[in-house]
Chain A
Amino acid sequence: MNIKEVFAEKLSKGERVIIPYITAGFPGLEETIELIRVIENAGCGIAEVGVPFSDPMADGPTIQYSSQKALEKGVTLGKTLALLKKNRAKFHIPLVIMGYYNPFYQFGLEKLAREAKEAGVQGFIIPDLPLEEAGEWVKLCRSHEIDTIFLVSPTTSLERAEKIAKLCTGFLYCVSVTGVTGARKEFPPYLKNYLKNLQKITDLPRAVGFGISSPEHIKMLYPHAEGMVVGSALIEVIRKHPRQPQLGEETAKFLGGLVQAAANR
Chain B
Amino acid sequence: MKYPDKRGRFGKFGGKFVPETLIPLLEELESAYLAARKDEEFKKELNYYLREYAGRPTPLYFAERISQKIGGAKIYLKREDLLHTGAHKINNTLGQVLLARRMGKKRIIAETGAGQHGVATATVCALLGMECLVYMGEIDIERQKMNVFRMELLGARVVPVSSGSKTLKDAINEAIRDWVTNVKTTHYLIGSVVGPHPYPLLVRDFQAVIGREAKRQILAKEGRLPDYLIACVGGGSNSIGLFYPFRRDRVKIIGVEAGGYGVDTLKHAATLVKGSPGVLHGAFSYLLQDKDGQIIETHSVAPGLDYPGVGPEHSYFKDTRTAEYTAVTDQEAIEAFHTVSEVEGIIPALESAHALAYAMKLSSRLSKDKIIIVNLSGRGDKDLEIVREYVGERE
B278 CB contacts on chain A under 8 angstroms: 102, 105-106
Is B7 interfacial (CB 8 A cutoff)? yes
Q: How far is the CA of A168 from the CA of B360 in the complex (A)?
A: 56
Is B16 interfacial (CB 8 A cutoff)? yes
**Closest beta carbon of chain A to B271's beta carbon, Å:** 14
Beta-carbon contact of B294 and A155 below 8 Å = no
Residues 141-184 of A contacting B (Cβ, < 8 Å) = 150-157, 160, 164, 175, 178-180
Is B143 interfacial (CB 8 A cutoff)? no
With A101-B279, A106-B291, A180-B181 in contact, do A132 and B164 touch (Cβ < 8 Å)?
A: no
Q: How far is the CA of A134 from the CA of B281 in the complex (A)?
A: 17
Q: How far is the CA of A227 from the CA of B294 in the complex (A)?
A: 31
Beta-carbon contact of B18 and A77 below 8 Å = no
The residue on B at minimum CB distance from A65 is B163
A150 CB contacts on chain B under 8 angstroms: 20
Within 8 Å by CB of A128, from B19, B291, B294, lies: B19
Within 8 Å by CB of A156, from B7, B24, B173, B293, lies: B24
Size category, B interface: 35 or more
**Closest beta carbon of chain B to A92's beta carbon, Å:** 30
Is A14 interfacial (CB 8 A cutoff)? no
Within 8 Å by CB of B289, from A61, A106, A128, lies: A106
Residues 91-120 of A contacting B (Cβ, < 8 Å) = 100-107
A130 CB contacts on chain B under 8 angstroms: 16-20, 23
Is A23 interfacial (CB 8 A cutoff)? no
Beta-carbon contact of B17 and A179 below 8 Å = no
With A58-B180, A102-B280, A157-B24 in contact, do A129 and B17 touch (Cβ < 8 Å)?
A: yes
Beta-carbon contact of A64 and B293 below 8 Å = no
Report the tally of A-B residue pairs with Cβ distances under 8 A.
Answer: 116
Is B382 interfacial (CB 8 A cutoff)? no
Residues 257-293 of B contacting A (Cβ, < 8 Å) = 278-282, 289, 291-293
B17 CB contacts on chain A under 8 angstroms: 101, 128-130, 133
Beta-carbon contact of A102 and B180 below 8 Å = no
**Closest beta carbon of chain B to A25's beta carbon, Å:** 12
Beta-carbon contact of B183 and A54 below 8 Å = no
Is A55 interfacial (CB 8 A cutoff)? yes
The residue on A at minimum CB distance from B175 is A57
Is B148 interfacial (CB 8 A cutoff)? no
Is A204 interfacial (CB 8 A cutoff)? no
B19 CB contacts on chain A under 8 angstroms: 57-58, 127-128, 130, 151, 153, 175
B20 CB contacts on chain A under 8 angstroms: 127, 130, 150-153, 155-156, 164, 175
Beta-carbon contact of B16 and A105 below 8 Å = no
Beta-carbon contact of B181 and A55 below 8 Å = no
A102 CB contacts on chain B under 8 angstroms: 278-280, 289, 293, 295
**Closest beta carbon of chain B to A51's beta carbon, Å:** 10
Is A53 interfacial (CB 8 A cutoff)? yes
The residue on B at minimum CB distance from A75 is B292
Is A260 interfacial (CB 8 A cutoff)? no
Beta-carbon contact of A57 and B21 below 8 Å = no
With A78-B292, A179-B181 in contact, do A55 and B280 touch (Cβ < 8 Å)?
A: yes
With A71-B294, A160-B24 in contact, do A132 and B15 touch (Cβ < 8 Å)?
A: yes
Q: How far is the CA of A38 from the CA of B15 in the complex (A)?
A: 40
B282 CB contacts on chain A under 8 angstroms: 128
Is A62 interfacial (CB 8 A cutoff)? no
Is A2 interfacial (CB 8 A cutoff)? no
**Closest beta carbon of chain A to B5's beta carbon, Å:** 12
B289 CB contacts on chain A under 8 angstroms: 102, 106
Q: How far is the CA of A53 from the CA of B125 in the complex (A)?
A: 34
Residues 165-213 of A contacting B (Cβ, < 8 Å) = 175, 178-180
A156 CB contacts on chain B under 8 angstroms: 20-21, 23-24
**Closest beta carbon of chain A to B28's beta carbon, Å:** 10
Is B83 interfacial (CB 8 A cutoff)? no
Is A60 interfacial (CB 8 A cutoff)? yes
Is A214 interfacial (CB 8 A cutoff)? no
Residues 166-186 of B contacting A (Cβ, < 8 Å) = 169-170, 173, 176-177, 180-184
Is B25 interfacial (CB 8 A cutoff)? yes
Q: How far is the CA of A101 from the CA of B17 in the complex (A)?
A: 8
With A128-B279, A133-B15, A153-B20 in contact, do A60 and B177 touch (Cβ < 8 Å)?
A: yes
Q: How far is the CA of A100 from the CA of B16 in the complex (A)?
A: 13
**Closest beta carbon of chain A to B27's beta carbon, Å:** 9
**Closest beta carbon of chain A to B52's beta carbon, Å:** 37
A133 CB contacts on chain B under 8 angstroms: 15-17
Q: How far is the CA of A150 from the CA of B23 in the complex (A)?
A: 13
Beta-carbon contact of A178 and B21 below 8 Å = yes
With contacts A64-B163, A105-B279 known, what are 20 further pairs, Cβ within 8 A?
Answer: A55-B280, A57-B18, A57-B177, A57-B281, A61-B163, A77-B292, A77-B293, A100-B279, A102-B278, A102-B295, A107-B293, A128-B17, A132-B15, A132-B16, A133-B17, A151-B19, A155-B21, A155-B24, A178-B21, A178-B183
5 contacts between A and B (CB under 8 A): A53-B293, A58-B177, A128-B18, A130-B16, A179-B181
Q: Which 5 A-B pairs have the closest CB atoms?
A: A106-B293, A103-B293, A153-B21, A179-B181, A54-B294
